[in-house]
Structure 1
Amino acid sequence: MGEHNQMSIIKNSNKVISMTFDVEFFYNRALRYLDRKDYPKALKYFWKTIDFEPNNPVHYCNIASLLAEMGRFKESNELLLYVIGKLDPTIVECYYYLANNYAYLDDFATSYKYLQRYIDAAPDGEFISEAYEMLSYISSEVDDVRFEHSDSEDELYIVHNAAKNLLDEGKYYEAEKKLKKLVNDYPDYLPARNNLALAYFYLGNYVKAIEHTKSVIEKENTNIHAFCNLAIFYRHLNQEEELNQILNILRKLHPFQKEYLYKLATTFAILEEHEMAFNHLHRLLNRGEIADPTLLHYGAIAALNSGKLIFAEKWWNQILRIDNNSQIASFYLDFITNLNSEDFNIELPNYFYQYELPIEDLVTGLYLNDVDKHSYFLSILEWGLANGSEKVKELSIIGLSIYKNKMVEKKLREFLLNEQESYYLKKKVMFVLEEMNVKPPFKILINNKVFEMTRETPDLKSWKKNWLLVLEYLNENVSYNVKEFFDAKSLWYEFISKTYPKTPQIRKVEGWVAALEYIVMKIHQKPISIESLSEKYHVSSSTISKNIGIFEDVFEL
């Protein structure tokens, strides 16, 4: 990158260490001071990059952006006009930056002029939605300004936003249909291509997902969204060589725009490149803007996963200052307070980045053996049992059942004596203790009275072979999520306990498993039909219906 200057630093009088000063050195130094909000020094080093590459328009745009950040809008405008007038007229984003600067200078007429130029030059540009929004504001400030746009442009943005909403809602087939039409009608509108690639990916059509993403890069080889998506696709497909090539590109990117910083940060988080995720999130959170809790939480998890507990604690405390009732921030602050010194180098799974309590995903991971049974995961479940909502407590009970040790037994026995807890949850605890083969009696507090309960179901050692086979089928049923699986097991235990010793003969095991699945799906209000279960388990509909009737009688459904 350009010519090199060399300086020798003398150490210990007998060693000479050669340092190479090139454009990348000064660029990285500028970024470092920018992160520290030392704008004068950042500006000094950005100007140094121009000494090496005087015809590179990117360096001038960097300086123009920083000057605008410092409130030096007129100087920023001079550089932007120099870029589009002398260096590279294709960098049409300069029109948008000029419009922003003139708006800050209260010159709304000139701002409007440059917004129109930007919209005309880049109808599918990166800042097009912001330009429309800004133009509607400026129109009210300037006399006789009229914003003209075509009906087809209106349709494009309306349909694209609708398709994005469908993606967010998990309606991938509907999103795919809309996005395919958009790409056919507007082949150069790259956001639609990127989102169509995502729709294909979510639908499992990985070949088309990669194909469409590469087509975006062919049209625009600086499209950060496309490179980020491609990296995630390659990670999912375990294509390490291709992934590393994309990662080498992403690691060199240092965008100023908030949207791109956020996209890079979340991508690095998904790829478990937590140090890189932290660096970008730190830059975002260090801008002095009012950060939203979701962004602060992302930063805190990245900090925790890269061993920077001070930042993690700082950002979760910041969430509490924004929302002092935030259960999520309280949860994580308790979590890091109780970490043992040997746990400081932990790496939490990716779903911890979601701004919600991670109990359900954690319990699922424990059930599927996707995560190790670390002591700090146990502490998370204990927190959920003590502080969570009814749903979180139920999931925590399910998760604790996996550990099956004396400490868990003690916690669950204490739960049975807590007058604040519901009888519904205490029944769940009773089931877990029985499944753990904990020795009765179980003391349980109901209506301010303590009762001693014995085991409700016969000991597993006395279970008949086909009763146990039903449990084996349940363990292999991939249709259930973790809560449905737990409910299916507990219903089967309850069925045995309520009918024992006159439990009906279990001849065709598949017929009982199918009937149990029908009951569980109905409880969880999920669509299910006897015909589909008949095909799935290769058993007659009449057998399933008969067993459903027996369950309904026993459970009084």
Structure 2
Amino acid sequence: MSQRKRAAKNRRPKVIPMRLDATFFFERAVQSLDRYHYDKALKYFRRAVEYEPENPVNHCNMAGILSEMGRYEESNVILRSVLDQIDPAMTECYYYLANNYANMELYEAAEEALVRYLENDLDGQFLDEADELLDLLNYELNRPTKISTIKSRENIYAHDKARELLEAGHFAEAVKILEEIIQRQPDFLAARNNLGLAYYYMGLFDQSVATITEVLDAEPGNLHALCNLAIFYQHSNQEEPLRELIEKLNKTVPFHPEHVFKMATTLGIVGEHREAYSHFRRLLRTGELAGEPSLHHFAAVAATNLLRYDDAERHWKQAEKLDPQSPVPSFYLDKLDKVRKGEERAPTHYHYHLPFEEQFKQWENSPGQVTEALKREPLIRSSFFWALRHGDRKTKVQVIQALGLVADEEVIEALKAFLIDADEDDELKRVAVLVLRSIGVQDALTVTFSGRTLTLEARRKSARLPVWDNAWQAVLEQALEGMSGRYDVVQQHDMMTLWVDYLSRVYPEVPKLHKSTGWAAALEYWTAKMHRRTVTYADLVNRYGVSQASISRYANRIDEACGIREKLDLTTPSFH
């Protein structure tokens, strides 16, 4: 080839092939939009749809242009087709529909579409805009819009609900919600922190520590988690890890009042009263919380432990002035005089309610007051749940009976969990079964006795009894003692159930139980009959120290109320 021909060939223009696809037309549409050429933009978006008809974004872009052009009905047709035929998960289309309907002054339809968006959209991309539109619709419709949930804020709202439940003392309900939140959003540390706290309030120590540890693994400096863990270590007597944690907390200077308060109460509970008092005084000086009687109480407790008795008296008197209905300030003011004289030790109780032992004294004199306190005060309820798990035997018996006064779902679940704890005493479980039956829980109960798991069958529903009487308990204890070693757990449970059934039927006309041994022998008699067991007159008389006539009389009374003879097809009580 000649040099001229080669030069001519090299001068030929290079042709770059144009690739026509959805991306090409999308870019052209955007360029047209920048120049406010809506007709051209619409044409290009239509071409993009032709190239990728299954791509919902292309359809939404076209609907958006039509909306900008005021062609709302056409825009809505496209948005509906996206939701109905292409991608129902594109919930933002409901927000676009709501905007279109609002521009068409179809406010009812706009409200319906906006509610669908808020209740179904996971991301909340247009949440702020939706709030503004909601305000407009409320104004135009002259009423608020009812929304059951905002999907993108579902966990936040659920967490707020769980916190309310914790503050109200409904720990089991809070645990359920918090566990669901964490399952949906594992990195929601505030929910995980409160879950650990809820476990702690329920006395589930190992679970609480494990949960708080998970928070600290994700965020080592989380102050709430550090404080919660310090309290957990304190209650479990883990001195070495507690000491290390206290050193870390003492080097921390929180700024936010909520964090200062958390730090102060934590340090007080673990015995660091000087640092605690410093933080409490700091809060009182700021003025924001100076009107809280509980804060003055906390400061007084810390001051007493520092031998600053005059300061303590001043704080408790201020708490009494701010909260004259509460028995707490006056109780501790009386105690302060004895502490000054060296007759009593300084209080270490950093909760704004009476000490646990004092609550029981009040319960003995006025059960109704304790019932109200357990229902109203979450910290008191928490102390009872904690004592149920970690108190001594006598305390646990008192707690079980006290919880029976409340008898709400929270208490029922706590007592049912107590029944299956292999580490708890069998006799205490019998008391718990009795309380559950006496408050009307008649469904089947699962109980772990001496390493064996048994199911106590459901019973006929009886009327709920009031406060459990000590005389009723005495009959049961004598019957259990007499039946010990002769009857199995299920048979003993049936005896207890029969006693509750009898009392429920005759209440309030319960006879005077002068001879509790006779009633106990009668209960064993009917229990033996129900289980086709042989029982002799001589045996019952010898073991219970009561006459045959007394046993027969009380057995007849039980039968008259409960109809046992008829159920067992017996004619007269007879001893073999």
TM-score, length-scaled by structure 2: 0.40
Tell me which structure has the larger Cα radius of gyration.
2
Between 1 and 2, higher relative CO (CA 8 Å, sep ≥ 6) is seen in 2
TM-score, length-scaled by structure 1: 0.41
